[in-house]
Amino acid sequence: MNFEHSEKGKETRQQVGAILKSYDNGLRVDKSSSEEFRPRLIKLQKSLAEKGFFNLSSQAQERSSDESETLQAIDFEIANFSASLFMSLKVSQLLVGLVARCKTELHKPLLDELCTGSLVGAIAHHGSSELSSSTPLILKKEGTAWLLNGTMPFVSNGLFADWIAVKATADDRIGFCLLSSDASGLVVGPKLQTLGLQEIGLCSLFFQNVAVPDHQFIMAADPAQLDGWLTNSLDLAVATASVGVMKRSFEAAQKHAASHAINGKPISRHQEISFKLAEMLALLQTAELLCCRAGWLVDTGHSEADVLVRCARVFCAENGERVASEALQVMAGWGVLSGREGERGYRDAKTLALTGTTTEKARIEIADAMLKSH
């Protein structure tokens, strides 16, 4: 067991930190429009690709423990900077990973281009039915062509993606349609205005007789395993982003408490405030460790990995809300001002809590696993 970050991990964090510093601060990134956000995302992707970091998540095989730790270090650094930038980056990386896992020789040029970081990816894998959150669309054969029709709501990066993987079934085979954003019949809906993570280009995608050549319908050898990888990756991303929100919220509250005085005494010296900060720090450290451990279990192929990822997803997201709310409380009037760290963290925390596997579903999955094993 080892609770220390490796020298490589620390060095990587510093390198990524330096890249992010060139961005302005996270607050300004999160107030950017989609037109401003997309180039920032690509700039980050390319910078990471130049250092060999971007394609780490694209590896279909297991990563070495060094590489896993490097990836975690990068993730935490970016999540701490901006939840929107981080989630957009992860979705883009997930497309790279998806193509890597399903690719044939035909897809190698696309994969190579994706790995340069110059393209933005999106994955549409929620169905339009209100009853099911993961119903794939159905490809129908018309003559020699497959045609895709339907709607996929809530697609992150959908607004500005270059390539989109759309979950679909074709003759009972489950896979993904690889579509470029200019595919005929693909209509990108307007930006969905959300409570938090406002910059991730969330929109609905409408498919009207979109032609999908055979080679652009990609499948993994084991679709269930691919689904599991996608779900775990997204849940871990949500957990990591939540830890980032917690860290920023805590730091903002701590800074405010140290500098804001009442009767000449910083409010951090009042137990009502200092004890809140202490609880926040305890939750933050617990969440970060749980997130790291869940990621490690996934990377080592541990039998309990899925359960731990759900645990991390629930714990980090729910306590992200808790910490963000307490931070707001500490910052009082200053906290609720628009555009400040307090209210941004609060909005992002709630939005993250609703992203990926819902906490309700996650709890059911955790319990089912426990009941099965006992």
- Report the residue number, 100 or 284, with the smaller CB distance to other proteins: 284
Q: Which two tokens stand for residue 80?
A: 């701490």
- Please say whether the dihedral angle defined by the alpha carbons of residues 261, 82, 167 and 211, taken in this order, is positive or negative: positive
Q: How many residues bind other proteins (CB under 8 A)?
A: 46
Instruction: Tell me which amino acid residue 244 is.
Output: G
368's enclosing H/E stretch is: helix 359-373
Token pair for 352? 């993250």
224 is a contact residue toward other proteins (CB under 8 A): no
76 is a site residue for other proteins (CB under 8 A): no
C-beta of 56 vs 290, nearer to other proteins: 290
362 binds other proteins (CB under 8 A): yes
Half-sphere exposure of 78 (CA within 13 A, CB side): 26
| β-pair partners for 186 | 207
Is residue 259 near other proteins by the rule CB under 8 A?
no
Task: Round to whole Å and give the CA distance between 139 and 121.
Answer: 21
* Residue 368 binds to other proteins (criterion: CB under 8 A): yes
* Nearest-approach distance from CB 10 to other proteins, in angstroms: 12
* CB atoms inside a 10 Å sphere around CB 76: 23
Contact code string over 300-339 relative to other proteins, x by CB under 8 A: x------xx--x--xx------------------------
Closest separation in Å from C-beta 134 to other proteins = 19
Per DSSP bridges, beta strands 137-142 and 163-170 are: parallel
Give the shortest CB-280-to-other proteins separation in angstroms: 10
| Cα-based distances in Å from 212 to 150, 173, 216, 348 | 14, 14, 6, 36
Residue 84 interacts with other proteins (CB under 8 A)? no
Phi, psi of 23 (to 5 degrees): -90, -5
| Span near other proteins by CB under 8 A; candidates 90-98, 180-188, 237-245, 283-291 | 283-291
User: Alpha-carbon torsion 262, 264, 268, 271, what sign?
Assistant: negative
Bridge partners, 367 (sequence order): none
Choose the binding region for other proteins from 16-24, 51-59, 153-161, 289-297 (rule: CB under 8 A): 289-297
Q: Which of these segments, 186-194, 240-248, 337-345, 362-370, binds other proteins (CB under 8 A)? A: 362-370
Q: What's the rounded Cα separation, in Å, for the pair 175 and 154?
A: 19
Q: How far apart are CA 235 and CA 222, in angstroms?
A: 20
| Using rule CB under 8 A, residue 252 touches other proteins | no
Q: Is the dihedral of CA 218, 224, 226, 227 positive or negative?
A: positive
Q: Characterize the bridge pairing of strands 137-142 and 145-155.
A: antiparallel
Choose the binding region for other proteins from 43-51, 100-108, 197-205, 268-276 (rule: CB under 8 A): 268-276
66 contacts other proteins (rule: CB under 8 A): no
When the beta carbons of 22 and 373 are compared against other proteins, the nearer one is 373
Binding segment for other proteins among 186-194, 331-339, 347-355, 365-373 (CB under 8 A)?
365-373
5 binds other proteins (CB under 8 A): yes
With binding defined as CB under 8 A, does residue 283 bind other proteins?
yes
Q: Which two tokens stand for residue 313?
A: 């997803």
Binding interface with other proteins (CB under 8 A): 1-5, 9, 65, 69, 72, 254, 268, 271, 274-275, 277-279, 281-283, 285-287, 289-290, 292-293, 296-297, 300, 307-308, 311, 314-315, 360, 362-364, 366-368, 370-371, 373-374
